[in-house]
């Protein structure tokens, strides 16, 4: 009789216990990040803030805005070269990310405004990337990406754009 009472009591209280939803666990991933980009994004080096915008599907949207550094380049074989012009860059992008857990395929479009004393340019490019996002706050994130510039507002020579880059940052 005691066993039957215990089993009935167990079934009664089991309705009050709720399991944790898997989606709730996944949504705890950090949404903000401060990153350092090496090469790519029309910059030699840039510091960026990025934000993840969640959607109800397995796809999320990532936005980025930063400030960076670039130099013009001139190849001189016979004669003096001008000193390279130092440029401020403002890289930005919006991408869609497809994947689960911590690894994602990233596709989107980005642009960079390049500004210097005598030089101004805007470049636009599609982006393809692999992104790694940690499960916990204050952990390292990683991104390796490639892009191809298909639009330049100014076709002056002197600007060499590296078509790939690496980004490392801290998620919070």
HEC profile of the chain: CHHHHHHHHHHHHHCCCCCCCHHHHHCCCCCEEEEEEECCCCCCEEEEEEEEECCCCCEEEEEEEEEEEEECCCCCCCCCCCCCCEEEEEEEEEEEEEEECCEEEEEEEEEEEEECCCCEEEEEEEEEEEEECCCCCCEEEEEEEEECCCEECCCCCCCCCCCEEEEEEEEC
Q: Kindly indicate whether the domain formed by 30-171 is annotated with CATH number 2.40.160.
A: yes
pLDDT in tens, 33-52: 999 999 999 999 999 999 99
Domain locations along the chain? 30-171
Low-confidence ranges of the chain (pLDDT < 70): 5-6, 8-28, 157
- 0.85 cut: is pTM over it? no
pLDDT in tens, 57-86: 889 999 999 999 999 887 777 777 778 889
């Amino acid at each position: 009789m005691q066993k039957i009472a215990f089993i009935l009591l167990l079934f009664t209280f089991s309705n009050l216990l709720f399991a944790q939803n898997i989606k709730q666990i996944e949504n705890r991933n950090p949404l903000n990040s401060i990153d350092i980009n090496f090469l790519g994004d029309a910059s030699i080096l840039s510091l960026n803030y990025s934000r993840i915008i969640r959607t109800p599907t397995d796809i999320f949207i990532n936005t980025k805005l930063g400030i960076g550094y670039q130099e013009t380049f001139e190849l001189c074989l016979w004669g003096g070269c001008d000193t390279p012009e130092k440029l401020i860059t403002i890289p930005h992008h919006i991408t869609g990310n497809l994947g689960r857990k911590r690894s994602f395929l990233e596709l989107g479009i980005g642009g960079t405004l390049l500004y210097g004393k005598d030089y101004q340019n805007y470049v636009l490019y599609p982006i393809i990337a692999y992104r790694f996002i940690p499960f916990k706050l204050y952990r390292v994130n990683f991104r390796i990406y490639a892009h191809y510039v298909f639009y330049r507002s100014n076709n002056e020579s002197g600007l060499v754009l590296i078509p790939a880059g690496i980004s490392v940052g801290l998620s919070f």
